[in-house]
Amino acid sequence: MDIKAINNSAHGQLKIKNNENLQQSKNKHFAPVVVQEFIAASQEFPIVFIKDAGTGQFKAIALLGLKSEENLFFRDDTWQAAYKPEGLTLYPFLLHQEKNRDNAVLCFDADSFLVNKTEGEALFDENGVQNQWLTDKGERIVSYIEKTNATENFIKLLLDKDLLVPQTLNLKLEGEDEYSINGLYVIDEKKLAALSEQSFSELRKVLALPAIYAAIFSLQRINHLVRIKLTD
């Protein structure tokens, strides 16, 4: 990736092609998800959590495949699932924030296959004024950052209640050797049920329960991934 801050002098002639196919996800076996989309995403993908080895920070993801670089929802050069994780739809844009988060700059991946000078939506008009399309994209990015912050708070709540536990998936598919997927964390349903009335009430009051149950129920979608893989 070649991340560049957008400005009209350097990028006045650039255009961004439509990203309906989410082609950048072709070789991605997971996609980030924010807590606000847990319910919708859980209808198609297992929602689990991973821990950054460097920072120790947990992130919520939707599993798209059962092996590295395997996206079972991308076939025939197009995205096949009915739901599109919001983070994927924002590509090639992102927001660069300073450590204090007071200043943010709209950026894009200059190496993206979507970036060109002939096809798609122009970033600026002939006078160098930012087009409304780009303004709308920027507002969506800002909104997504706010959702990401809310997701971080949600995960912190899970950790405070000791509800996240490591989970290894052991898989044996027809024609393949048995293998394991490590590094995943899930919400422990038994620990949730064992919470004190006060702790459970705290989750209810901050409206965390719908997302928690969505993540728990979504694990049934692992079988859906297996079925897709077996039919490929």
Query: DSSP label at 197?
Result: H
Q: What is the pLDDT along the chain (232 residues), one digit of tens a residue?
A: 889 999 888 898 999 999 999 999 999 999 999 999 999 999 999 999 999 988 999 999 999 999 889 999 999 999 999 999 999 999 999 887 666 556 678 899 999 999 999 999 999 998 899 999 999 999 999 999 999 999 999 999 999 999 999 999 888 777 777 788 889 999 999 999 999 999 999 999 999 999 999 999 999 999 999 989 888 7
- Per DSSP, the residues of 25-72 read GTT-SEEE--GGGHHHHTTTS-EEEEE-TTT--EEEEEE--SSTT--T
pTM for the structure as a whole: 0.90
Beta-carbon count within 10 A of 7 CB? 14
Between CA 174 and CA 213 the distance in angstroms is 31
User: What are the structure tokens assigned to 150, written together?
Assistant: 């809310």
Residue 142 and residue 93 in contact, taking contact as beta carbons nearer than 8 Å = no
**Token pair for 48:** 């689990």
Give the span between the Cα atoms of 128 and 26, in whole angstroms. Answer: 34
